[in-house]
A and B are shown apart, each in its own frame.
Chain A
């Protein structure tokens, strides 16, 4: 095994499965540990999927939905992969709803522009802005695969589970995305 567990977030020493078992037994602190451990990654992933507003809300909805069906979590994949899968479905559903709403009502771009500016403030350095733009030019699927691999350290197998694809297809998407980003940055 060449990869070690990647964890950017706080770790109290317990595994996800141990925390889940403790939460099921009524330990509310275990839920806090699980949320603190995975919420930042979910927020990053939401942004990488183009979610510019209500990121906090999306993350919260993801956890609410996940904890509501935690008894069905079989640990075939990691908890984080499962959470990514739930969040991705949520975001796609929200987009469909917004698209339908946009068909019915006029679009108010003011809020989105404000959020986008606020997000840009986070990315202060120019090189990072260029990278963002390069990544934003990828197709939605390429972008999802690329950022799950680079930012979250998921394996191709885990990525395939999240995006509903195959391991081989995920690998191809990643390499195509990498080539496109490099061309955008250096050519």
Chain B
């Protein structure tokens, strides 16, 4: 059994058997087959094979369709091919995250400024009280957050050596001045002015603390 030497025609025989050639090509191949016993025999074999396998088992299309997964429409796309909704969602999420972080940071900062500061000051006052070696000469302890403490001797502070020069006076506020009335604030400011004007008395002590005035804060 021989094969035709015209490989191009032989390659087209399955397509001729399937009827899938365009008109001009089909005419050319049929013309060749008419005069070529090998190609005619091969074409006959191809038609037999197609006929033998033409019978197809019945396939239940509806059953198959019922078993298919449901279509999930994809998000709209921008011309560049990017999924539009996903892109928008990403930007919104990023913006919301940044806003959340900003708000959270602000809240933390405010919380610290309103709560931790008085606590630190109160701790500092307590520290002064416990380290005080001499009696307090004058003190104002109204019990209110704006109570003023004075001390009459140097106070050792962390990070500052005991022999270092101390301020002339130390004022400790166990709170802000928000709850003081105008009169109390006026008195306080006047007392501070007096402290500034008063000369520092020489003392045997290395760095005495001046006396602070007593201020009535209106507390019982």
Smallest beta-carbon distance B71→chain A, Å? 5
Residue A186 contacts which of B18, B41, B49, B61 (CB distance < 8 angstroms)?
B41
Q: Complex formed: what's the CA distance from A158 to B171 in Å?
A: 92
Give the nearest-CB partner of A5 in chain B: B20
Q: Contact at A127–B48, with CB atoms within 8 Å?
A: yes
Q: Contact at A128–B52, with CB atoms within 8 Å?
A: yes
A/B pair count, beta carbons within 8 Å: 133
| Segment touching B, from A18-26, A72-80, A84-92, A100-108 | A18-26
Q: Complex formed: what's the CA distance from A56 to B61 in Å?
A: 10
Q: Is B31 an interface residue (CB 8 A)?
A: no
Known: A68-B69, A183-B1. A60 touches B64 (CB 8 A): yes
Q: Contact at B50–A122, with CB atoms within 8 Å?
A: no
Q: Is B42 an interface residue (CB 8 A)?
A: yes
Q: Contact at A128–B57, with CB atoms within 8 Å?
A: no
Q: Is A157 an interface residue (CB 8 A)?
A: no
Binding site for A on B (CB under 8 A): 1, 3, 12, 14-15, 17-22, 25, 41-42, 45-46, 48-65, 67-69, 71, 73-74
Q: Is A173 an interface residue (CB 8 A)?
A: no
Main secondary structure of the interface of A (DSSP, over half): helix
Binding site for B on A (CB under 8 A): 1-6, 23-28, 31-32, 35-36, 39-40, 42-44, 47-48, 55-56, 59-60, 63-64, 67-68, 71, 119, 122-123, 125, 127-129, 131-132, 135, 146-147, 149-151, 153, 175, 178-179, 181-183, 185-187
Q: Give 7 A-B contacts (CB < 8 Å), ordered by A residue.
A: A5-B20, A44-B53, A47-B57, A67-B68, A182-B42, A185-B48, A186-B41
Q: Which residues of B contact A147 (CB under 8 A)?
A: 49, 53
Q: Which residues of A contact B65 (CB under 8 A)?
A: 28, 31-32, 35
Residue B68 contacts which of A59, A64, A146 (CB distance < 8 angstroms)?
A64
Q: Which residues of A contact B50 (CB under 8 A)?
A: 150-151
